[in-house]
């Protein structure tokens, strides 16, 4: 048997998430569907620039098998214009209010790096925080302390300068996850930050090293959907990178990924279903 399959079988069976008292098992991988309340996210089909558009996208994601919806209102693509706090709040608060009303049982993850956004959204019952800043704003941790809201810790850096990228990313996760848990946040999910201040070589080295990160005993979220690490290799564009995304998703699952954060829920769910069929044969 392929050793990477053995490793990932061990890895997948360890985890569950407590989302405000609702236990979400990670014994099989989950899909997180992206909803971008922005006019400039790098993949146009993920943009929901009105409340109705966000509701329609949420309905589509959920019907296709998304376990979690990840909603953001501030693009993190390279070269994106800075968005003020006021603009981010104006974009995301009405959407979260509408999603909670229309999908009361849906798990809502908030993609932000600002504590003010989390504070404004807590009354609607958010279920997860997806922080691309690696806890730069410690008040986020204070706000969700003791509330059974899982926290996604993403690796980010200002420049792609590493002596040993695998070791350095691992060390950051080790240090930061311990700090986060001291804030009475029991569930920490790591995201290796594919595409954030990393070269193509860095991205694929980290992807191949996923089994090594299992030593942290933390679930891993894979965020590669339609990113440049895929479309640049294939000499194409984000809009034409779905097939490449599915291929990388399959590889990431075999290496131990637990959550796929995606633009295309149906296709990601199919990859998971086929992976499970092969794993359980």
Residue of 61, 44, 41 whose CA lies nearest to 264: 61
Q: At what angle do helices 3-12 and 242-255 cross, to 10 degrees?
A: 80
For residues 64 and 265, give the distance between their C-alpha atoms in angstroms, rounded to a whole number. Answer: 6
Q: At a CB cut-off of 8 Å and minimum separation 6, what does 131 contact?
A: 112, 113, 137, 140, 151, 152, 153, 154
DSSP assignment of 51-112: HHHHHHHHHHHHHTT-SEEEEESS--STTPPP--HHHHHHHHHHHHHHHHHH-TTS-EEEE-
Residue of 42, 44, 46 whose CA lies nearest to 32: 46
Catalytically annotated residue among 91, 255, 261, 269 = 261
- Which uninterrupted H or E stretch holds 275? helix 265-279
Q: At what angle do helices 165-181 and 200-208 cross, to 10 degrees?
A: 70
Catalytically annotated residue among 91, 198, 226, 227 = 227
Q: Where are the alpha helices (DSSP H) in 103-193?
A: 115-121, 138-144, 165-181
Cβ atoms < 10 Å from Cβ of 191: 22
Active site residue 181: no
Active site residue 261: yes
Residues with active-site annotation = 227, 261
């Amino acid at each position: 048997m392929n050793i990477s399959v053995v490793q990932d079988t061990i890895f997948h069976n360890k985890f569950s998430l407590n989302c405000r008292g609702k236990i979400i098992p990670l014994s099989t991988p989950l899909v997180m569907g992206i909803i971008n309340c922005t006019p400039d996210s790098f993949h146009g089909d993920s943009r929901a620039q009105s409340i109705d558009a966000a509701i329609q996208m949420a309905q589509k994601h959920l019907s296709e098998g998304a376990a979690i919806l990840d909603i953001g209102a501030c693009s993190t693509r390279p070269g994106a214009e800075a968005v003020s706090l006021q603009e981010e709040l104006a974009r995301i608060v009405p959407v979260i209010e509408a999603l909670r009303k229309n999908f009361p049982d849906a798990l809502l993850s908030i993609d932000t790096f600002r504590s003010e956004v989390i504070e404004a959204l807590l009354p609607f019952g958010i279920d997860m925080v997806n922080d691309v800043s690696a806890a730069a704003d410690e008040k986020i941790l204070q706000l969700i302390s003791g509330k059974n809201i899982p926290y996604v810790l993403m690796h980010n850096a200002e420049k792609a300068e590493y002596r040993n990228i695998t070791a350095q990313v691992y060390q950051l996760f080790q240090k930061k996850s311990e700090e986060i848990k001291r804030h009475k946040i029991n569930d920490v999910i790591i995201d290796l930050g594919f595409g954030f201040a990393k070269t193509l070589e860095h991205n694929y080295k980290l992807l191949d090293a996923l089994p090594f990160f299992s030593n942290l005993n933390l679930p891993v979220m894979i965020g590669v959907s339609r990113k440049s690490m895929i479309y640049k290799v294939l000499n194409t564009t984000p809009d034409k990178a779905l097939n490449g995304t599915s291929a990388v998703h399959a590889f990431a699952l075999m290496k131990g990924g637990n959550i796929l954060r995606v633009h295309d829920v149906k296709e990601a769910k199919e990859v998971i279903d086929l992976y499970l069929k092969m794993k359980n044969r």
